[in-house]
Amino acid sequence: MKIVDTSINTMRQLPLFLALIGVLGAAPLSAQQAPQDPTNAAFVKALNFPAQADATNRNAYQLSLRTLGAGLPIQLRGVEGSQNIPFSIRADEVVTGATLKLNYAYSPALISELSHINVYVNDEIAASIPVPHSDAGKNLTRDIPIPTRLITEFNRLKLQLIGHYTLECEDPTHSSLWANISNQSLLELQVSKLTQANDLALLPHPFFDHRDIRRLDLPFVLGKTTSNGVLEAAGSIASWFGTLASYRGATFPSSNGQLPAQGNAVVIALSNESIPGVHWQDVNGPTIAVTANPNDPQGKLLLVLGRTDEELKIAARALSTGGNTLTGQVATITDLVDVRPRKPYDAPNWLPSDRPVKFGELAAPAALTSTGYDGDTIRVNMRIPPDLFAWKNKQVPLHLKYRYTPRTTQDKSSLNLNVNEQFLASYPLPGWHLGEGTMARALERILPDGTVPVEEKLRVPLYQLPARSQLQFDFYYEYIKQGACKDVLLDNVEGAIDPESTIDISSFPHFLAMPDLSAFSNTGFPFTRMADLSETAVILPDTRSSTDIASYLTLMGWMGESTGYPAYGVRVGSAQQVSQFSNKDLLIMASGDNQPLLKEWASHLPIGLDGNHKRFQLSDTVHRLFFWWKADVAKTQRARQDFSFRSAGTDALIAGFESPLSSRRSAVLVGSNQPEGLKYAVAALLNKSQAGNINGAATVVRGEHVESVLSEQTYYVGRLGPLVAVQWFLSRSPLLLALLAVIGAALLGSLIYLALRARARQRLRG
């Protein structure tokens, strides 16, 4: 990719589904120390343009300790228990005021004269909270002002308990030494916005700042022309920002020609169009530029321009794949050539399925270390292709290497391994002390003592590794008590998982029964099978409102978050153009009576919307226990009822089916009979706690309630090896297998009979 900087003078500054109320919904997925998911209502509000908050909220915001990563209330234990919580400040903000609104409680056994709770910011004391006996055991609140001089770009908030329960000799780990800090405690920040230079070298700032852990709400402003090419370019950029936003989530409200009243925005337009407040000239090719928002001097506009749709797509692709190389206020793209095409399942965020993968590729070395008796859990996050086929081979090889502080005696210390909060294995942490002498010293050098990697080879059941999985390692050390007045807490223990540890899924073929909305809701599969979505076509309504476009862009950002790669290969079309996409998987969107495919393909759809007339195919799915689809059993629940009714209510639906244009190609409908319903369907996909309830072949979204109504599976995607394919086919057809056995026995008997007759004739002739 070649980029030419041009002069800045060329630019100027610028209640749903009431008939199914008895349907059961699945329990939400457990949190894994990620920021709290906003509700559907919050997502829906973000999709309403303009998305930026008012000036008051813009300059003051609150972050809960849960949002900052404390998935559970913080437990401070012992004579000196502490917990660190990181937080950071955007590059375009300076903190003018900070307050910690602390919710806490402490033990009634603490001696108030000797005990207290300290609050540190970057290892400097911000406050020391007394613990009077009169308030012990109560839920308390306290506002703690934090001096702004202590706050920098990257910060560490430390909460520490200094606890004592007696004036005599005490047990430093006594159970009465505790304090509890609620993870709903708030860090309130007042900030002033800084004006940054109009320089592409700052990208992705200020449009996205990795220091900001809040959800990204970035408006897209399109010109009057919202052609398929323009929307493909916009989808590529939205997926890039979705990749950057990662766990935070991202929404992209849309408008035609209306700049936001404040804040940042992305402007995508053809050079012959105009947007009030923004002017450009001399666009000689795919162009990327940054300028001030005329409505807000502190806000910025990211301009993506081109003379044609194709140039616009080139500019968008250059931005999403090489934005970190751009400089200057304006850049014109002169060349963009693929060196190596994408391959299936090669998404950067997905676990490679063609080789063993080292833990060092999945987590930073510092994240693989735990220090102290109450050390943090070591977490290794993985995204596994959802179509791995586990029939005879159901175990994933895991080669684990770890180190730990050598134990002074043989005790009960152990390393526990959990997968998604489910116990898998436990390994002792022994201490090797064989006595004195030459032989003992020689054996101690050979045997692992914890300072060299200890190796364990185990196998993890594939059903315990869903698409979004996490391995959790906990080092538990036994505290050896020496007796009264002899116990000294020397917290010098440490454990680490070796980055050379590996996990290997390369032995599993890719083969999956479809439709399976759980694969779609967790990873965007089958569309994300290609990281650039080059085998995906999005079929938008014929009349595209700002809500339709915002929902489409938000879904592209969601898929970019799944793959970790921009979706510059996605195609956009309408119902009249759908025949052009027979070789692609189809994502169909509808928001009212604006999608003709709902009528044309009604016989293929498990659900139907025609104004106020609704049709649903129902199976026993609604009567099964929670999480039944995660068991190692057949997923198919055939449709038992075809249910139709008329209602003026708003219905949001997500359904999967085989593409009517091509076998083994998939289609997913995300739609509603009202624009508001479409926003709720998209919001349910972005909300991790609700996405776990989207499964089977059809799902209904009723406000913030998500319920599956059909799980019939009718086709397969992927391929098996010839031998495995034959074995698997015969295993599902016992009658055919018995018939083939009889035929085989008859043929074998016939061959033996003929051979014996021939031998008898030969003997008689002799």
Are 454 and 430 a contacting pair, CB within 8 Å?
no
Whose CA is closest to 527, among 691, 683, 375, 345? 345
pLDDT tens-digit map of 85-127: 999 999 999 999 999 999 999 999 999 999 999 999 999 999 9
**Looking at residue 35, what DSSP letter applies?**
P
- Note whether 218-335 and 357-503 share their fold: no
Cα–Cα separations (whole angstroms), residue 400 to 39, 363, 464, 500:
38, 14, 17, 8
Cα–Cα separations (whole angstroms), residue 469 to 74, 213, 423, 573:
24, 21, 14, 34
DSSP result, 38-65: PPHHHHHHHTSSP-PPPHHHHTEEEEET
Q: 277 Cβ partners below 8 Å, 6+ apart?
A: 14, 259, 294, 295
Kindly state which CATH superfamily the domain 511-718 is placed in. Chitobiase/beta-hexosaminidase domain 2-like (3.30.379.10)
Whose CA is closest to 162, among 204, 197, 201, 119? 119
Q: 620 Cβ partners below 8 Å, 6+ apart?
A: 637, 640
Quick one: how far is CA 367 from the chain centroid?
18
pLDDT tens-digit map of 17-70: 333 333 323 333 333 344 455 556 666 666 665 444 444 456 899 999 999 988
Q: How far apart are CA 751 and CA 720, in angstroms?
A: 33
Q: What is the 3-state secondary structure (H, E, C) of 624-678?
A: CCCCHHHCCCCCCECCCEEEEEECCCCCEEEEEEECCCCCCCEEEEEEECCHHHH
Question: Selecting from 2.130.10.10, 2.60.120.260, 3.30.390.50, 2.40.50.140, what CATH number does the domain 357-503 have?
Answer: 2.60.120.260
- What pLDDT shows up at residue 243? 96
User: Is the overall model pTM greater than 0.75, yes or no?
Assistant: yes
Backbone angles phi, psi at 760, to 5 degrees: -65, -45
Can you give the length of the chain in residues?
A: 766
State the amino acid at position 350 in one-letter form.
W
Backbone angles phi, psi at 353, to 5 degrees: -110, 20
Q: Look up residue 631 and give its two tokens.
A: 């068991």
Cα–Cα separations (whole angstroms), residue 250 to 188, 216, 568:
22, 5, 18
Whose CA is closest to 30, among 417, 421, 558? 421
Give the strand pairing for 494-497 and 422-428.
unpaired
Backbone angles phi, psi at 663, to 5 degrees: -70, 150
Are 325 and 335 a contacting pair, CB within 8 Å?
no
Q: 3 Cβ partners below 8 Å, 6+ apart?
A: 318, 322, 325, 326, 327, 331, 332, 333, 334
Kindly state which CATH superfamily the domain 218-335 is placed in. Chitobiase/beta-hexosaminidase domain 2-like (3.30.379.10)
Q: Look up residue 48 and give its two tokens.
A: 């309403």
Domain ranges, ordered by start, for the chain: 52-193, 218-335, 357-503, 511-718, 733-765
**Looking at residue 542, what DSSP letter applies?**
S
Are 448 and 454 a contacting pair, CB within 8 Å?
yes
Low-confidence ranges of the chain (pLDDT < 50): 1-35, 50-56, 625-634, 645
Query: What residue spans of 4-108 are helical by DSSP H?
Result: 40-46, 55-58
Can you name the CATH fold of 52-193?
A: Jelly Rolls (2.60.120)
